[in-house]
Structure 1
Amino acid sequence: MSDALLDRYGAVLLDLDGTVYHGSRPIPGAVEAVSAARERGVAVRYVTNNASKSPDDVAGTLTGMGLPAEATEVRTSSQAAGRLLAQRLPAGATVLVVGARALEDEVLAAGLRPVREAGEDVTAVVQGHSPDTGWVDLAEACLAVRAGALWVAANVDATLPAERGLLPGNGSMVAALRTATDSEPLVAGKPAPPLFHAAAADTGVPLVVGDRLDTDIAGGIAAGYDTLVVLTGVATPASVLAAVPGERAHYIAADLGALGATVAELAVGPQPGWDVAASGGTLTVSGDGGPDDDPLALLRALCSVGWRDGTTTVRPSGDAAAAALDRLGLG
C-alpha cells in the first residue's frame, strides 16, 4: 500500500466553515489542495452543517473562490433536516421554519408545508442557521414546541468560524429555545452519521476532514470512517489532546495542504525526535523534534500516549521541548 494519504481513500468529505474557507475567503492552500486531490482521481464531497445556503448556492460560493464544485457534490444539514422530517411526518404536514430560505426549500422538497408563524396545524419546528433569526422567530418556535410540535435542529454548532473570528452558530440559538421550552431537539446534521453516509454513497472509501471535534470528527467516527482534523477553525492543540474517545481523529494536520502528505507524517503515533512518557498523571516530553521542526509532530506523539493513559497535563524536559510546547499553546 502506498504511503501517500490520498492513495488510501476514494473520496474526501470536506467540512466547509473553518476547513475550506472563513466566511467569504478561502483558507490559504485550500484551493490548491482540493484541486490536487481531484487530479489524483479522488472524489470530493462538501459536507456542511450550515443550513443557510442551498447546494447550488454553496457550489456557487466555492467556484467563486476557485474551487471546482457541483451542487451534486454538496450535502447540507438542511437537506438532512428535510429527510428527517419526511421520515417522521405525513405528506403535507405543516412545519414552522426558523432559518433561511434554503431550509424552507428543503421542507418543500420533502413534501411538507413550510410556515413562519405558530398555529394549531403546526406539527413540527425545524431550526437552522440564519443571520436574520431574531426574537420574533424564536418566540413563534417556542409557542409551537410548547404546544407539542416535533422539534428538529439542522445542527447544534455553538459557533461559526468567520473572517473576524468565531461567531454565534445555530447551536447558540438552539440553546436559547431549549432554555425557553425545557425541550431537546432531534439533530439532523453532523455528528449524526446519515449526512456522512449520504455524502459517501457514490464514492470509494472516504476520509472525513474537518475542524470541529464534536461534529466533523465525532460524526465521521460514528459513520465508521477515518478522520483528519485540521487546526484552521475551532479545534486547537489543547482540545485535540483533551478529546474524548469518540472525537479522536486518526490524523492531525495544520490545514488542507496535508492532503498531499504521507500517512506517516499525519497519523497519531510515536514521532522521530520526540519521546513522551506518562507518569503520575503527567506527560513528560523530551527530545529536539529532529530536522523537520514540526510542532504538530509533537502533538501527534502526545496524543498517542495521552489518549491511551487519559493524561493531558504536559511537562517539558529541556529547552527544545519547552519551545515546541509553547508553539502548540501547551506550554
Structure 2
Amino acid sequence: MSQQGIHRPAGSATALHQAYDTALLDLDGVVYAGGAAIAHAVVSLEAARAQGMHLAYVTNNALRTPDAVAGHLTELGIPTGADDVITSAQAVARLIAEQVPAGSRILVIGGEGLRVALRERGLEPVESAEDDPAAVVQGYGGPDLAWGRFAEACYAVARGVPWYASNTDLTIPGARGIAPGNGAAVEVVRIATGAEPQVAGKPLPPLHRETILRTGAERPLVVGDRLDTDIEGAFNGGVDSLLVLTGVTDAARLLAAEPRHRPTYVDADLRGLLTPQPEVTVADGVFRCGGWSASAQGDALVLDGDGGPLDGLRALCGAAWTRAGDGACGLDAGKALARLGL
C-alpha cells in the first residue's frame, strides 16, 4: 500500500507539552463539564505549564467575559489570567471592527461577553433595531435570552443591516445534558430573514487568527473534544490537534471522521499532553499500535491482539480512515469497539 494513501493518527517520540509551545484548549468537554473540572484536567494542565507550555483557553461560547472565564478556571485550581482566554466574542468583534466605521453602533443579541468585546474595539453596543445599528451581532445569551431579542435582530437584518454570529454551534453541553446553542438561535433569524451571517467562531479562520494574534504561538497544538469545531478548526488553520475523549466525540464518530475532522493525536483526557504518542505502523493493509492490529475486511473493521484500548482505537483509526480515503468511513466497527470496551 502506498504511503501516500495512508491516513492514521500521528506518533510523537516527544511528550506533546515539549513538542508544542502553546496548547489552544477548548473548555467545555475538555477542561470542565457542567462547571466542574474533568478528571485529571487540573493536575495535567499544571504539570504542562510548570514545564514551560503556554496554556491558552479558546472557546466558542461568547456569553462570559475573559475575566469571568479566568476566574472560573482559577477557582477550579487552574491559575489563569484574562489574557489567557480567547473567545469567539473577541473574534467577531475584531471582524466587525474591520468592516464598519470606528465608533459604530452594534445591535447585540447575546450576553455580556459580546458587549465587552465590542467596547474593546471601540464599538457601541445597542439593544434595538431602532438605534440605527451599523451591524447586528448574535452570540449565545444563556437559557434566559428573551424571544423578543431575536425579533430585534430580524427587524434589522431584514432592512439589510450586516449580520454577524460569534459561532454556529447547534448545541452546548450543560450540567443536565445537551442544550440548544447559538447555532440554533442563529437558525431562528436565518429562517425569518433568509439572510446569512458572517461567522467568526470555530471552525472558521477568524477565531484561529484571533488566538494566534493574542498568544503569539509559533508551534500551537489545538486540544478539543469536538470534531466539527475544534478539530476542523485546527485543520483549517493548518496546525496539529489532539482529540480528548472526555466530551461529545465517541469512538464510533472518530472512526467515521472525514479528513477535515481527523485529529493528529487521540488520547483519553488531558494526561495526553504529558506523554509521547505511540506510533501507528502499517504493513500489507494491517495497522498496528501497541499490542493491537486492525484491518478493513469486507464491510467491517476487524481487530486482533490485546493491550490498552486507546492503542486499539488508534489502530482502528488507521484502518478506517485509510479505507475511507477522502470520505467518511461507513464500515461496521461494532464488534471491534466492543472488544475495546468503547
Task: Provide TM-score, normalisation by structure 2.
Answer: 0.88
1:136 deviation in Å?
Answer: 0.3
Matched, 1:11 2:22: yes
Partner of 2:89: 78
2:264 to 235, 250, 270: 250
> Which one-letter code corresponds to 2:290 in the other structure?
P
Cα distance change on mapping 1:185 and 1:270 into 2, 3 Å: farther
Indicate conservation of the 8 Å contact 1:251/1:266, yes or no. Answer: no
Residue 291 of structure 2 is aligned to residue 279 of structure 1: no
CA distance in structure 2 between the partners assigned to 1:267 and 1:222 by the alignment: 26
The worse-fitting range, judged by mean Cα deviation, of 307-316 and 63-72 is 307-316
1:152 pairs with one of 164, 184, 192 = 164
Does structure 2 retain, via aligned residues, the 8 Å contact 1:252–1:267? no
> Which aligned pairs between 1:1-331 and structure 2 lie closer than 5 A?
2-119=13-130, 121-131=132-142, 132-200=144-212, 201-264=215-278, 270-285=288-303, 287-290=304-307, 294-310=308-324, 311-314=329-332, 321=336, 323-325=338-340, 327-328=341-342
Separation in 2, partners of 1:90, 1:71: 27
Residue aligned with 1:262, SS:
coil
Cα 1:108–1:170 shift into 2, 3 Å: same
- Measure the CA separation in 1 of the matches of 2:133 and 2:60: 25
CA apart distance, 1:197: 3.4
The Cα offsets for residues 139-192 of structure 1, whole Å up to 9 and x where unpaired, read as 110111111111111011111122222221111111222211112111111112
In structure 2, list runs of 5 or more residues that go unmatched: 1-11
**How far did 1:5 drift?**
2.2
**TM-aligned CA deviation for residue 304 of structure 1:** 1.0
Q: CA RMSD in A?
A: 2.1
Percent identical: 46
Tell me how far 1:119 sits from its aligned partner: 2.0
Does 1 or 2 have the higher relative contact order (CA < 8 Å, sep 6+)? 2
Instruction: Indicate if the aligned counterparts of 1:146 and 1:181 stay in contact, CA closer than 8 A.
Output: yes
Equivalenced residues, count: 320
8 Å contact 2:16–2:274 — kept in the other structure?
Answer: yes
Return the letter of the residue paired with 2:256. A
SS of 1:263's equivalent in the other structure is coil
Q: In structure 2, do the counterparts of structure 1 residues 187 and 19 end up closer, same or farther at CA, with 3 Å as the change threshold? A: same
Cα distance 1:120–1:57, how it changes in 2: closer, same or farther (>3 A)?
Answer: closer
2:5 match: none
- The normalised TM-score by structure 1 is 0.91
Letter in 2 for 1:324: R
Question: Using a 3 Å threshold, how does the CA distance of structure 1 residues 316 and 22 change in structure 2: closer, same or farther?
Answer: closer
- Partners of 1:150 and 1:260 lie apart in 2 by 45
